[in-house]
Structure 1
């Protein structure tokens, strides 16, 4: 059997936008690129990723094809280099300012802290800056366009029937389920979730809790301590660690309530994924969470990181079926109206067109 190419073949001369990914390990930035690039290509944009750690189905530009970028694509006066990390901004500057390639540099910032001098200098050299939230924009020293992430609403959607959805992932279909999804580590607040759920689970015997996510070697001790605490509380059969899953959308469909307990987050897609699945959300006040959730309507944004505060919110929603049902309906409508990946794709295309107008636009403006 002939060997097949590991990535979709792209013609470098046609590429209008390059999405560099200079980090081999999976991260939120990588996830964003993996989700967006296929949707952008489906929208008719000639875009390709560049770098390691990318799945096979993604259209990818090879490093050895970079010399072809000396000439602009047919569709635009300059290609757009869309960086999301410092290293990628550096790469774009080398290509544009040292090798004199016809590039426009766009940077998306998700950071919610004051930038170091080198980062500020890099950002100052960009042609256009995008922020992933209003909070992020507040940390920048130059104007930016806020474009909130969207999600694939065809993938994340409510189940046809909740009982069957629970049974499909091997959970008790007669139990109500509260979940926390993400890597098991202190930053993600897994311990806050466990602490907050001890008393509500005792008071509500028809509920169980699940933690879905990977535990890396560095955090195995942390996870072991959590399991020991759960066993000490007599809740080993009520708080379950179910591991990492590539079909995580099926696990959202099994939930009745979702908690995002992070101590820190750059953006955070999990509340959107839960709400798109018809699940109300309790979330800490970090990342973009306050900009994703309508307080009291699609979920609850907690004012602090105290386990007792999370516990009170969880108790309230676990006991009130009517409130959860109302929040579920509101969450579905809210995400459908404002957080589709199609909306994000359209807003990014507007950025690319502003920084490097398409050929037909330039022709139309010619005297």
Structure 2
């Protein structure tokens, strides 16, 4: 049985490997794709390596093919990874997520690879995942370099970590900024997993409190609207999207009432398109959002407080426009590939 397979583009020797175990698209996967694309565009040999194939083809594969970025899928065994490493001699392996990081450290016990591990998750895991998360954080010293996307996440890693912000590709032009000033009915969005930590229950409460606005949910999970909220005429559930590219244009404001966070990629993607974010002050969101300058950052969640802030935004078209323009500018200056990729390049060059 073949130990691995790749796409039409054969990975180059001495590439940077972005190593991940995944079967769907989320924040980590979007980060890996953005990183692969940015490195490729800056002339680096790069390959996205998946631990194993699942029942359905990974949605990222078509994106990578379109961007001319090589990919490699292993068979879920250390022997497969070792075989691929021996054949392609990667420059270094950059792992994302607890499983890829733990597997990479096991490989380092067999073969002296250069290993970088990134820490993305801001929420505290539960059950079996909590054990894996603890093991990942407490064996971090076995990776030669560690990267965290926020100070809070770095504090939980049992080895010194470099803090590197999440980043996104910035759309070249946003034609909807001015057109939003004349919309009669504005739309507020929620993008993410429907779990307690992300706070969709709070989003449903806002929808009930503000019937004059549209509320739309992009995501899936167990925390669906209760009987009190499921029949609201202004609340729609659109399900999980493999790509949000065509959905962002529907939104005027992104709502992130999370109970815990790192630096969510959805906030950067929204702001890069001129969509401000209203969020709870958790994780690194207060470093991204400056209250009433490029979005709204609030302590805790109280429906009436949030309703008043959104109402003020809703009633002032000029305020909406200025907030949207500054949100986009924040991403260009601090969270774009041009601002962030040199930090990854520095980590890689120090290992090389």
Structure-2-length-normalised TM-score: 0.80
Aligned partner (choices 114, 117, 136) of residue 107 of structure 1: 117
2:158 corresponding residue in structure 1: 141
Tell me whether 1:69 sits opposite 2:80 in the alignment.
no
For residue 71 of structure 2, the aligned residue among 60, 75, 81 is 60
Alpha carbons 2:118, 2:146 under 8 Å: kept: yes
Residues 116-195 of structure 1: pairs in structure 2 closer than 5 A: 118-154=135-171, 157-159=174-176, 162=179, 174-195=184-205
Question: Deviations along 1:6-28, whole A, 9 cap, x unmatched?
Answer: 7242245x132111112334332
Which of the numbers 282, 286, 292 marks the counterpart of 1:290? 286
CA contact (8 A) 2:190 2:255 kept: yes
Shift of 1:248: 2.5
Whether the 8 Å CA contact 1:86–1:119 is kept in 2: the answer is: yes
Cα offset, 1:57, TM superposition: 4.3
Please give the alpha-carbon distance, in whole angstroms, between the structure 2 residues aligned to 1:50 and 1:333.
33
Q: Deviation per CA, 1:12-69, whole angstroms, max 9, x where unpaired?
A: 5x13211111233433222221222122112111111111344234321353574353
Gaps of 5+ in 2: 65-69, 75-79, 125-129
Structure 1 portions without partners, runs of 5+:
167-172, 357-367
- Residue 27 of structure 1 is matched in structure 2 by 26
Cα distance in structure 1, aligned partners of 2:246 and 2:178:
12
Is it true that 1:301 corresponds to 2:297 in the alignment?
Answer: yes
Partner secondary structure for residue 18 of structure 2: strand
Residue equivalent to 1:252: 248
The equivalent residue for 1:95 is 107
1:94–1:181 Cα change, 3 Å = closer
What CA distance in whole angstroms lies between the structure 2 residues aligned with 1:113 and 1:183?
Answer: 12
Secondary structure of 1:249's counterpart equals coil
CA shift, 1:122, in A, is 1.6
What's the counterpart of residue 127 of structure 2?
none
How many residues in Structure 1 have an aligned counterpart in Structure 2? 324
Distance 1:86 1:179, change over 3 A: closer
Equivalent pair of 1:156/1:273 in contact (CA under 8 Å): no
CA distance, structure 1, for counterparts of residue 325 and residue 350 of structure 2: 37
For residues 106 and 117 of structure 1, the distance between their equivalents in structure 2, rounded to whole angstroms, comes to 18
* TM-score normalised over the length of structure 1: 0.77
Q: Aligned partners of 2:159, 2:339: CA distance in 1, in Å?
A: 24
* Structure having the higher Rg: 1
- The one of 70, 93, 109 aligned to 1:81: 93
Match of 1:225 in 2: 226
Q: CA RMSD in A?
A: 3.0
Secondary structure (helix, strand or coil) at the match of 2:109 reads: helix
Aligned residue for 1:344?
340
Residue 192 of structure 1, CA deviation: 0.6
1:322/1:27 CA distance change after superposition, 3 Å: closer
1:50 alignment counterpart: 49
CA distance in 1, matches of 2:14, 2:209: 56
Q: Which residue of 2 aligns with 1:360?
A: none
Cα deviation, residue 283, structure 1:
0.6
Aligned: 1:209 with 2:219? no
